[in-house]
Structure 1
Amino acid sequence: MTIIRQTSLFSIQELYDMEPTQKYEAIISAIDMDAIYRAVNKKSRLGAPEELNYAAMIISVFVRIVERIPTIKDLVKRLDSDIAFKLNCGFLVSDCIPSEASYSRLIAKLKETNILQKEQENVVSQAIDEGFITDDTVAIDATHFEARDQAPPKEEKSAPEPKKRGRKSKEEREQWLKEQAEKEANLLLYEKKIEAQLGASLQELRSEVPQDPKWGIKKNSEGKNVFWFGYKGHLAVGTTSQYILQSLFSSGNLNDGKAAIPLLKGIDGRLSLPSLRYETMDAGYDYDPIYEQVHRMGHQSVIAYNKRNEGEPIGFDKHFAPTCFREQSYRYDSFDAKNETLKYTSPKECIDCPLANEGICQKVYKVKITKDLRRYTAPARGSKAWKTIFKRRTAVERVNAYLKKFFQLNNVRYRTGARAKVHFDIATLVYNASKLAADRINAKLNQQQAA
């Protein structure tokens, strides 16, 4: 009888249950610590010499997330009282324990560089090269987390000037249109409409994203509005591997849809992942420019449709499938990728319909997705294949929950948005490094089992 060996499933939780020395080594080895050290190390020979062990300080900042140590103050206390923990973080016995102010200066140096973002992409590239990321679907969503400080008091708005009633004259309308055009041109990139992002470079999209804490609003599961003061983390997650492929930190008031194109351009421009075919998102991302960006990447959009008070078109059902003379929906059959065409076949109910034999209803209906990228998706809306892909979107929700519960995303201890971004980048980087460490151990266990 053939013996079937099941593959090992070594998880992040099992990784975190290991001895500290093994655990830290596995996670930290996935990150290029030398690159981070070079980015924050003193460049000039002038000034006072640095006596602190910066390499060990950087490691301890990452270990703080792993061990869920709530504050830098608690980290300093742990280093001072636990010699084994101090050595595991890379400090020597003779090294003095850095102060909270020293860690604050380290965070300030990290704030001035984009090294954490580069290392995030480096970890993802390693996972791709080692065969741990082979996803065909990416899920995009946002999660909110509060700022440390309380919200400032709201400013009282002055009453608007009363509008002049009646129709504008030709001169007044031309002047008004000119003022509106100038106002639109002077808006910041993320204050403009989403379509303005299509022509912007990834560097512009990354550098101009607002980061100050702001009031945000979101509907909960009961349909009620929930307000918070703080930030948003926007993630693009591989639905099978559950790696964070791209991330973006923003103010809490940024519309979720305005973060999609920067994430998509990051995937397209900075990752080599030919297996990707689909991007799935909820109805908050149902905007024409997002469909256009996905189409430019050669992928397909699986995004929930938001009606926005739009009526159903005549001759089509709610999923935009064509209907016959008796208003029965055609069945989605296939997608011709070469011609970008959806193929529908006649409904089952039309088999015995006398109109079919008279040639009133056609047996096959074809439509190009480029006719309207928002309505005509591949696979077609409402089809079983579309629903199967859309269900994969829950992967990004799970990762958001992991980051908040186990990687301290909900524990921002800094007052400014720039420093809060460092916290966000460290949390997402440690998550990806932990995933890579667990996958490497898992692969080694499978090799031993196969041998």
Structure 2
Amino acid sequence: MYSIRQEELFSLQELLEMSPKDTYALVFETLDITPFLKVVSKKSLNGKPTELNYAAMLVSLFVRIMERIPTIKDLIRRLTRSVEFSTQCGFTGSDRIPSEASYSRMIQKLQGSSVFQETHNSLIHQAFQEGFIDATVVAMDATHIEARDRQPKKQSTDNADELPTELPKKKRGRKSKAERDQWLQEQLELEANRPLFEKKVEEQLPYSFAELSEHIPLAPEWGVKKNSEGKNVFWYGFKGHLLVDCKSQYILTALLSSGNVNDAKLAIPLLKSLSEHHPNLKVDYVLADAGYDLVPIYQQSQDLGARALIDYNRRNEQPIEGKDKYFRPVCKEGHSYRYDSFNPKYETLKYTSPKECATCPFSDGECQKVHKVKVESDVRKYTVPARGSDRYYELYKKRTAVERVNAYLKEYFQVGNIRHRGKLATVDFQLSCLVYTACKLTVDLVKLRRSGKTAA
């Protein structure tokens, strides 16, 4: 079967390949820098007068992402050498080009504010009002981001003489009741004192997004993932977590965490952020890979009014007798029952007898023609639509939208080029996501104008 791709009136690559003068004008019609200017500008008229052009500095920060300039040092070099480029960013002949320290101080001011989140939410709201987003099907995934920090050294063996020659011997045999009670009490205290994102995922459910976001670890750490060949790949840095609209490929929510945080630990913050910041978006399905196959994520999706379609993670579970790999009932001949429908009143999945029953030698009336299963009996195994059905595959294959957005961010918007450390790394990540969303909205607005002119 051939897949014919429709030609777009205007694409994101076309915007990035336009002349800088046209690109900047279009993007900054959509992206308002006034909220950023309020954060970094001087708050009082007293004291030393302002010598820097903060508006032009902010524009140059956004332009650096679009032009794929790797560092602030390279940005300053280009501003110094190219009068045309500095003029396009808003610097006048009387303005001096800021130093790296000036940019660093401005970035620190931006890091301590919520201006990125608020501006991104306003762009998503505008896209929804224009009809570019419906968010009926959303997908979430994580991508690895290498840090520029120096990797921690391995433990040195120079002072081997100071290490104990023998480890204390453990007492063999079963613990007494008193020792076991003491050990259980110690484990409970240890679990209670752990940071929130080191506890089980269900511990996040009672918290709001604002409370969860304060506990997200942001220090670079070692992370591991499996590549396409099934081998472990290690990196030192961060993880970027995205929740994306599958149809329009807008980033609805974006979060950054340490590289050692499990993907599933950020699923509930992503979904809570969507429900709190965009209550007007009515989500029907949440798509994710097997790394998110946890009961609390299904529960949070239901609180959002959506159904979670997550690839099943067997975790060394044994096959269930009388069920196939998609947990559908199986007849005496070993044929799987067919998914028929879902009853929302009783929250049940209906399975009908296999098509092979027409020629089955055991068709003596003993085989059950209809099976009904309650979704609540196991939310991981029984999804809506049912696993293995054509409708399930039709929806689940839309999950690749979030992978395409991750690829766009790394190739065109500098997400793989985090230059700051700790919490300042969030500025680079949020800046890239914001510029992507602004460019995406700009492209859709230009397409809408062009199609309107063509129709007229």
**Aligned mate of 2:382, from 373, 376, 382:** 376
Partner of 1:261: 268
Contact 1:71 1:413 in 2 (8 A): yes
Query: What are the within-5 Å matches in structure 2 for residues 118-197 of structure 1?
Result: 118-155=118-155, 162-197=169-204
Which residue is equivalent to 2:373? Answer: 367
Q: Deviations over 1:398-421 (max 9, x none)?
A: 11111111111111222x121111
Counterpart of 1:194, as a letter, is V
Of 321, 327, 331, the match for 2:328: 321
The equivalent residue for 2:342 is: 335
Judged with a 3 Å threshold, the aligned counterparts in structure 2 of structure 1 residues 89 and 334 are, in CA distance, closer, same or farther, namely: same
Between the aligned partners of 2:59 and 2:30, the Cα distance in structure 1 is: 12
Determine if the alignment matches structure 1 residue 399 to structure 2 residue 405. yes
CA contact (8 A) 1:134 1:273 kept: no
Q: Among 274, 280, 288, which residue is 2:287 paired with?
A: 280
Query: Bigger shift: 118-127 or 419-428?
Result: 118-127
Per-residue displacement from partner, 1:296-320 (whole Å, max 9, x unpaired)?
A: 2121111111111101212211101
Indicate if the aligned counterparts of 1:7 and 1:446 stay in contact, CA closer than 8 A: no
Q: Give the conservation status (yes or no) of the 8 Å contact 1:8–1:445.
A: no
**1:73 match:** 73
In structure 2, relative to structure 1, the CA distance for the partners of 1:435 and 1:178 (3 Å cut) is same
User: Structure 1 181/47 Cα, relative in aligned 2: closer, same or farther at 3 Å?
Assistant: farther
Look up the SS of the partner of 1:393 in the other structure. helix
Q: Distance in 2 between matches of 1:323 and 1:301?
A: 25
Q: 1:289 to 1:96 in 2, by over 3 A?
A: same
Instruction: Provide the secondary structure at the position in 1 that maps to 2:205.
Output: helix
Aligned partners of 2:200, 2:134: CA distance in 1, in Å? 34
**How do residues 185-224 of structure 1 correspond to structure 2 at under 5 angstroms?**
185-224=192-231
Write the distance in 1 (CA, Å) between the matches of 2:417 and 2:398.
Answer: 28
> Structure 1's 177 and 44: CA in aligned 2 closer, same or farther, altered over 3 A?
farther
Matching residue's letter, 1:80: T
- Alignment partner, residue 40 of structure 1: 40
**What SS does the aligned partner of 2:30 have?**
coil
Matches of 2:230 and 2:377 in 1, distance apart?
34
Contact 1:8 1:446 in 2 (8 A): no
The answer as to 2:446 corresponding to 1:412 is no
TM-superposed deviation, 1:201: 1.3
Q: 1:161 to 1:56 in 2, by over 3 A?
A: farther
Match of 1:252 in 2: 259
> What's the CA shift for 1:355?
4.4
Counterpart among 383, 392, 400 of residue 386 in structure 1: 392
Deviations 1:344-372 (A, max 9, x none): 111111123364442x2221111121111
1:247-275 alpha-carbon deviations (Å, 9 max, x no partner): 11001111011011111111122114544
What secondary structure is seen at the aligned counterpart in 2 of 1:262? helix
- Is 73-82 or 240-249 further displaced after alignment? 73-82
Matches of 1:320 and 1:24 in 2, distance apart? 54
CA distance in 1, matches of 2:362, 2:269: 50
Distance 1:365 1:444, change over 3 A: same
Give the length in aligned residue pairs. Answer: 444
Contact in 2 for aligned 1:294/1:301 (Cα 8 Å) = yes
Structure 1 equivalent of residue 90 of structure 2 = 90
CA distance in 2, matches of 1:301, 1:192: 22
The one-letter amino acid of 2:390's match is K
Do residues 432 (structure 1) and 429 (structure 2) align? no
Go from structure 1 to structure 2 and tell me whether the alpha carbon gap of 1:118 and 1:231 turns closer, same or farther (over 3 Å shift): same
Contact 1:146 1:231 in 2 (8 A): yes
Q: Counterpart of 1:351 in 2: which secondary structure?
A: helix
Deviation track 1:43-95 (CA, whole Å, cap 9, x = no partner) reads 24454332111111111100000111111111112212222221221222221
- Structure 2 spans left out of the alignment, 5+ residues: 1-5, 158-162
- Greater shift after overlay, 323-332 or 243-252? 323-332
In structure 2, the partner of 1:353 is 360
In the aligned structure 2, how far is the partner of 1:383 from the partner of 1:345? Answer: 13
- Partner AA of 1:92 in structure 2: T
1:235 equivalenced with 2:242 (yes/no): yes
Checking the alignment, whether the CA contact within 8 Å between 1:281 and 1:393 is kept in structure 2 is: yes
CA distance in 2, matches of 1:294, 1:321: 23
Contact 2:283 2:304 in 1 (8 A): no
2:64 equivalent in structure 1? 64
Aligned partners of 2:152 and 2:312: how far apart in 1? Answer: 36
Q: Which residue of 2 aligns with 1:24?
A: 24
Q: List structure 1 runs of 4+ shifted beyond 6 angstroms.
A: 156-160
Identity of aligned residues (%): 53
One-letter amino acid matched to 2:255: L
1:85-108 residue CA offsets vs partner (Å, 9 max, x unmatched): 212212222211111110011111
Provide the residue aligned with 2:103 in structure 1. Answer: 103
- Structure 2 CA distance for aligned equivalents of residues 162 and 218 of structure 1: 36
TM-score (norm 1): 0.94
